[in-house]
Structure 1
Amino acid sequence: MRRTTDWSARALGALAGAVALVAALLPAAPAAAASVGFKTATLNIYYGLSQADFAHDLNLIASKADLVGLNEVGARKAFLENWAANNGWWLYAPGGTNQAGEALIAKKSMFDVLDKGSIFVCDTNGPGEVPPARYNNWVKYRHKATGRNVTHVNAHAVASIETAGRPEDLPRTRCAEAQFQGLKELAVDKQDEGQVIVSGDLNVDFSADRSYGYAKFPWQVFEANELPNLRSNYNLYGERGTGTHGNRHIDYVYFWKRLPEYQLMWMTGYDIVGGTKSDHSGVVATFSIQD
């Protein structure tokens, strides 16, 4: 009986050793990737506000985000330069009033600036006429906590280009169509350099656009195609509140969504920011970026 017990013990010991050896030769399971969060916002601050109301809206949206795309702020460029210098923010607001209108700001504590640029899109009715010229502005940042590149693209499309998702047959509509296509091409170009976020007042209502599906408007240009592609806060998490401009959801935050195995940055949620003096509410999207 003792011999059987000794043999069984030796056999079990040998089996355990073999299992341990095989386990040691197998590749270790990858550790869960750590991630870091930040927030990106968009807000159209109506150009006709008083200085006090403008400052209120700027400080409101800056208190809720780390990257911000602004619209209609070109006439406040000097104020923005002083505000950014005094509050620890980067500012990119190139050129004159129209070009600087689509300004981008970022917290210096969280991001470094690597590159930036501005692309002229169109001037619908000629220099100095209404609506004014349109530009797609962008800044490539390095996210300090992760070392990853994040390009933020910001734009403002002309108004009165759609009714219930249907395009108006106007020169301004063709200008907007060119701008949307330009934004898509810029996002495609920059996604090879890192992560991409696109923001702005696009003056097309999300639900109406998705329902009608005009081929040259944001839903079809940005979102209806398979991955990789742009995805908006509304597509991912639905429409919230009554709208960002009246009852319309026309202010967007997008990010470049890749196939899951290549995704390094995710949009994890968003909020609509009310209480502005402007005729727009803001949108703040939360992102998680892999360390």
Structure 2
Amino acid sequence: MQIKRQWLVRGAGALISTAALVAALLPASPAAAVNVTFKAGSLNIYNGLTQAEFVHDLNLIASKADLIGLNEVGNRKAFLQDWAADNGWWLYSPGSTNQAGEALIAKKSMFDVLDKGSIFVCDTNGPGEVPPARYNNWVKYRHKATGRNVIHLNAHAVAGIDDNGRPENLPRTDCAEKQFQGIKNLAVSKKDEGQVIFSGDLNVDFSADRAYGYAKFPWKVFEANELPNLRSSFNLYGEKGTGTHGSRHIDYIYFWKRVESSQVMWMTGYDIVGGTNSDHNGIVAYFSISM
């Protein structure tokens, strides 16, 4: 009987050792991988605010996120340069007021800058007409904790381009349509260089766009298609709060979502940031990125 018990113990030990060996050889699942988190934010800070109101909104969104896309801030470029230098942030705000308006900032303690660029899209109502020209700006960062590259795209589409998801007010709508496709093309061109995030005020309401499904607006261009592709926080986690601009959800954060087997960065949730002086609320999305 003693001998039989010894063989049973030895047999169980062998089975455990075999199982452990097999488990060690299998690729780690996303849940088992070592992940590091960071937060990406977006805020359109209305350009008509007083300096004190602007500073309040800038500091508010900066207290909530590590990587941020700003809109309508071109007339504050000189201030932003000083603020970034004094507070440990990278700033990319190229060119004159219109181009500089879609600024990108990131914490120096968390990211290094590898590359950056700005792409002219179009004049909204024609050369020199109001509203002004549009640009798609981007920065390629190295996330220090993981060594992963993160490419942040930022843009601001012209207002007055949709009516409950339906396109209107040409030719400025033509310009916005070109900008949306330009963002998609830019994301595709950058996806093999790292993990892509896109933020911005797109001036198209998420739920209305999804319900109507106009072929050249964000829902169809970015989201209503198979993976890999861009996916927004609203798509993944639903609409929260009353909106980002009145009752409308028009300020977005997207990321390039891949098939699960090749995904190394995940959006894990988001929040709407209220309490701004601007006519927009901010939005902050939470990300997990593997080592």
Compute the displacement of 1:125 (Å). 2.8
- CA displacement, residues 154-199 of structure 1 (integer Å, 9 cap, x when unaligned): 0000000000100005110000000000000111111111100000
CA distance change for structure 1 residues 105 and 209 in 2, over 3 Å: closer, same or farther?
A: same
Unaligned stretches of 5+ residues in structure 2 = none
Which amino acid counterpart does residue 65 of structure 1 have in structure 2?
A: A
- Aligned-partner SS, 1:192: coil
Which amino acid counterpart does residue 99 of structure 2 have in structure 1?
A: Q
**Greater Cα offset, 254-263 or 5-14:** 5-14
CA distance in 2, matches of 1:229, 1:112: 25
1:175 aligns with 2:184: no
Which amino acid counterpart does residue 217 of structure 1 have in structure 2?
A: F
CA distance change for structure 1 residues 223 and 8 in 2, over 3 Å: closer, same or farther?
A: same
Compute the displacement of 1:12 (Å). 4.5
CA distance in 1, matches of 2:203, 2:184: 16
Compute the displacement of 1:15 (Å). 4.5
Structure number with larger C-alpha Rg: 1
Compute the displacement of 1:57 (Å). 0.7
- CA displacement, residues 202-249 of structure 1 (integer Å, 9 cap, x when unaligned): 000000000000000000000000111111011111111111111111
User: Are the equivalent residues in 1 in contact too, given 2:124–2:158 (CA < 8 A)?
Assistant: no
- Aligned-partner SS, 1:193: coil
Equivalent residue runs for 1:1-291 within 5 Å: 5=1, 8=4, 12=8, 15=11, 19=15, 22=18, 26=22, 28=24, 29-30=26-27, 32-291=32-291
The TM-score with structure 1 as length reference comes to: 0.94
CA distance in 2, matches of 1:139, 1:20: 49
CA distance change for structure 1 residues 12 and 284 in 2, over 3 Å: closer, same or farther?
A: closer
CA distance in 1, matches of 2:2, 2:273: 74
Which amino acid counterpart does residue 290 of structure 2 have in structure 1?
A: Q
Which amino acid counterpart does residue 122 of structure 1 have in structure 2?
A: C
- CA displacement, residues 75-100 of structure 1 (integer Å, 9 cap, x when unaligned): 11000000000000000000000000
CA distance in 2, matches of 1:221, 1:200: 15
CA distance change for structure 1 residues 289 and 128 in 2, over 3 Å: closer, same or farther?
A: same
Compute the displacement of 1:59 (Å). 0.6
CA distance in 1, matches of 2:57, 2:21: 60
Which amino acid counterpart does residue 162 of structure 2 have in structure 1?
A: E
Which amino acid counterpart does residue 178 of structure 1 have in structure 2?
A: K
CA distance in 1, matches of 2:10, 2:134: 75
- CA displacement, residues 3-32 of structure 1 (integer Å, 9 cap, x when unaligned): xx4764675577467647755764625552
**Greater Cα offset, 81-90 or 232-241:** 232-241
CA distance in 2, matches of 1:166, 1:235: 19
How many percent identity over aligned positions?
77
**Greater Cα offset, 187-196 or 210-219:** 187-196
Compute the displacement of 1:131 (Å). 1.0
CA distance in 1, matches of 2:20, 2:265: 33
CA distance in 2, matches of 1:101, 1:197: 18
CA distance in 1, matches of 2:219, 2:61: 26
Q: Hey, which bits of structure 1, 4+ residues long, moved more than 6 A? A: none
- Aligned-partner SS, 1:196: strand
Which amino acid counterpart does residue 67 of structure 2 have in structure 1?
A: L
- Aligned-partner SS, 2:178: helix
CA distance in 1, matches of 2:103, 2:4: 76
CA distance in 2, matches of 1:101, 1:286: 24
CA distance change for structure 1 residues 277 and 16 in 2, over 3 Å: closer, same or farther?
A: closer
- Aligned-partner SS, 1:79: helix
Which amino acid counterpart does residue 209 of structure 2 have in structure 1?
A: D
